[in-house]
């Protein structure tokens, strides 16, 4: 059975959005925003802050499993923190070799490591040794940093070092998020590794999902921005897979989810950040739904949640 995985998006796909999106349906697994690891074993509160679902069996309120992701370059520190993540209840650990952020890359994290396949493999092997053979270990990578020349070396190194699964974002760091995503490269990688490969990148519609699966040969697909902009995309895909017609949600259908999102933000986010968090999603939703764009434009100077909530309510 094919799975849809919600991508880890720093500063965006937090527990609040994970809750909202998984309630809609169609998502089979979530991966957290990365937990940055330097040289220290992090206290449990850091894991619980980025993954509050640990208090709920590491599942969203809708029952979708959440896997903790770690980012860093110190093998021993990553290994120690992987052990801690598992002890706290994460159903597995994901290692980030894909983040394109300059600040992350400057500190030797994320996609910059793809310039050194042996280093990537050593990190994976060290974490595997620490967590044991039975624990679930996955990794996420891009096709490379500036070029794709080392894509196969990195993927094979990750697989041979003991990862159970690999997600490939089908662009290099330098390519960023510019289309196209090179799904055919994922198929090349699949021919060189013996572990399952999840395809990621540029899936915005059910048709994109089908094209991605066909070009990559992957059973499973990870979706990020496509689900943030079109929250029922995974549900559309699930219905399509089951041969059940599904009408894409219009703004009126989505408004209850947005209002629930606002309620969660009010209940859990520090007051000074609440309005920005709501406006962030409204702005992104506005790329698909004109009413969301109007809400953002009319509400971007509002700092009162009551007014923002009323604005969304009245737009339905």
The residues that are catalytic are 99
> Measured between alpha carbons, how far is 306 from 224 in angstroms, rounded to an integer?
29
| Polymer length of the chain | 316
CB 142 within 8 A of CB 168: yes
Instruction: Please list, residue by residue across 211-223, b when 16 or more beta carbons sit within 10 angstroms of its beta carbon and e when fewer do.
Output: ebbebbbbebbbb
Please give the helix or strand (H or E) that residue 101 lies within, else none: none
Beta bridge partners of 167: 140, 198
Query: Residue 4: phi, psi to the nearest 5?
Result: -115, 125
Beta-strand runs (E) in the chain:
4-6, 29-36, 66-71, 93-97, 137-142, 165-169, 197-200, 221-223
């Amino acid at each position: 059975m094919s799975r849809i995985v919600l991508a880890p998006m720093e500063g965006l796909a937090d527990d609040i959005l994970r809750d909202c999106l998984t309630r809609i349906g169609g998502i089979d697994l979530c991966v957290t925003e990365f937990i940055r690891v330097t040289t220290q074993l992090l206290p449990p509160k850091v894991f619980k802050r980025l993954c509050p679902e640990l208090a709920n069996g590491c599942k969203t309120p809708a029952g979708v499993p959440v896997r903790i992701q770690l980012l860093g370059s110190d093998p021993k520190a990553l290994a120690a923190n992987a052990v801690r993540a598992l002890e706290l209840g994460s159903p597995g650990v994901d290692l980030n070799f894909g983040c394109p952020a300059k600040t992350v890359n400057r500190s030797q994290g994320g996609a910059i490591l793809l310039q050194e396949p042996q280093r990537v493999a050593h990190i994976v092997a060290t974490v595997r040794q620490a967590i044991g053979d039975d624990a679930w270990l996955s990794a996420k990578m891009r096709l490379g940093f500036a070029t794709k020349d080392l894509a196969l070396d990195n993927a094979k190194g990750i697989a041979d070092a003991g990862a159970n699964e690999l997600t490939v974002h089908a662009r290099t760091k330098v390519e960023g998020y510019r289309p196209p995503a090179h799904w055919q490269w994922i198929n090349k990688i699949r021919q060189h590794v013996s572990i399952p490969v999840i395809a990621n990148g540029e899936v915005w519609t059910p048709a994109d999902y089908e094209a991605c699966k066909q070009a990559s040969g992957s059973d499973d697909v990870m979706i990020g921005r496509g689900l943030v902009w079109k929250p029922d995309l995974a549900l559309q895909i699930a219905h399509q897979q089951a041969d059940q017609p599904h009408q894409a949600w219009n703004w009126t259908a989505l408004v209850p989810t947005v209002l629930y999102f606002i309620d969660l933000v009010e209940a859990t986010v520090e007051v000074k950040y609440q309005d920005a968090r709501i406006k962030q999603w409204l702005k992104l939703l506005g790329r698909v739904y004109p009413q969301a764009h109007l809400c953002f434009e009319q509400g971007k100077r509002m700092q009162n949640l009551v007014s923002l909530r009323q604005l969304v309510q009245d737009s339905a």
